[in-house]
Amino acid sequence: MTSPLQDLIDGNRRWASSMNAQDPHFFEALAKQQSPKYLWIGCSDSRVPATQIVDLPPGEIFVQRNVANVVAHSDLNCLSTMQFAVDILKVEHIIIVGHYGCGGIQAVLDEKRLGLVDNWLRHVGDVAEKHASMLASLDLMAVRNARLCELNAIEQVTNTCRTTIVMDAWERGQNLSVHAWCYSLDNGHMNDLDMHVDSRAGLEPQYERALQRLVRSPASTR
């Protein structure tokens, strides 16, 4: 019987054949272990595939995605993923990845009702209220969207660093850093937001540094 998703099944077979042709031992090695260095917490947007846009093969990035790349202290899904990545897989980097033109970010700016997801986007609304003066200074909506995408990624790094998971890892001397990025759908480039936190003491200085960088840099749409 033909699957209603046969196009995807066929694509899978082509991809597997291609990988086998490049490296006959690829799947054998992949099945034996999972040892990524990175935990990627990104947006659910289908246009932002984690490994592909940083040119890494399967097995190199552990991934958690949700609408608008939020790290909420009440989200057991995200926290469980983070705990497994940090405590079991021993990842060295957690990367919070926003993307310009994010629909969730735009819904917050438009104060648009979408349904149940509005409750989730309240977390982004809190970020927008915290930085209301900075956002109000930007006339173009596309520029305001870009700036809130950046601010949200920075604030979610702060939330990540304040979890018991990350704090405990630092307390026991584990090598772990947390970073903020924003991805451009327009040109495929990643923007490093200059927030790299590797200790409890480093959080506030890095946070202030990242915000000052945004204040000094011209706002753009990507």
Token pair 């990175």 in the structure block, residue = 38
Token pair 């819904």 in the structure block, residue = 107
Strands 190-197 and 38-43: unpaired
Task: Identify the helix (H) or strand (E) that includes residue 96.
Answer: strand 93-99
Residue 220 above 70 pLDDT?
no
For the chain, what is the domain count? 2
**Active-site pick, 10, 14, 23, 43:** 43
* 106 domain residue, yes or no: yes
**Active-site pick, 99, 131, 147, 179:** 99
- Judge if 96 and 174 occupy the same domain: yes
pLDDT at 35: 87
- Judge if 65 and 152 occupy the same domain: yes
Cα 138 to Cα 97: distance, rounded to the nearest angstrom:
23
* 212 domain residue, yes or no: yes
- pLDDT tens profile 39-66: 999 999 999 989 999 999 888 999 999 9
**Active-site pick, 7, 13, 14, 47:** 47
* 6 domain residue, yes or no: yes
* 124 domain residue, yes or no: yes
The CA–CA distances, whole Å, from 150 to 21, 23, 146, 164 equal: 40, 38, 6, 24
Task: Label residue 144 by pLDDT band (50, 70, 90).
Answer: very high
* 222 domain residue, yes or no: no
Task: Label residue 32 by pLDDT band (50, 70, 90).
Answer: confident
Q: What is the DSSP letter of 60?
A: S
- Judge if 6 and 48 occupy the same domain: no
* 221 domain residue, yes or no: no
- Judge if 200 and 160 occupy the same domain: yes
- Judge if 54 and 162 occupy the same domain: yes
Task: Look over the chain and give the mean of its residue pLDDT values, rounded to a whole number.
Answer: 94
- Judge if 17 and 87 occupy the same domain: no
pLDDT at 30: 82
Task: Label residue 168 by pLDDT band (50, 70, 90).
Answer: very high
Residue 92 above 90 pLDDT?
yes
User: Two tokens at 57?
Assistant: 């093969």
**Averaged pLDDT, 128-148:** 96
Q: Which residues contact 186 (CB under 8 A, 6 or more apart)?
A: 100, 101, 221, 222
- Judge if 138 and 163 occupy the same domain: yes
pLDDT at 222: 59
**Active-site pick, 78, 93, 102, 131:** 102
**Active-site pick, 45, 78, 123, 161:** 45
- The answer to whether the predicted template modeling score (pTM) of the entire model surpasses 0.85 is yes
Q: What's the CATH code of the domain at 107? A: 3.40.1050.10
- Judge if 18 and 53 occupy the same domain: no
Question: Catalytic: 43?
Answer: yes
- Judge if 123 and 27 occupy the same domain: no
Which residue range forms the structural domain that includes residue 188?
A: 34-216
* 100 domain residue, yes or no: yes
- Judge if 19 and 115 occupy the same domain: no
- Judge if 90 and 200 occupy the same domain: yes
The CA dihedral of 51, 85, 120, 147, to the nearest 10 degrees, is: -50
- Judge if 61 and 125 occupy the same domain: yes
* 17 domain residue, yes or no: yes
pLDDT at 219: 64
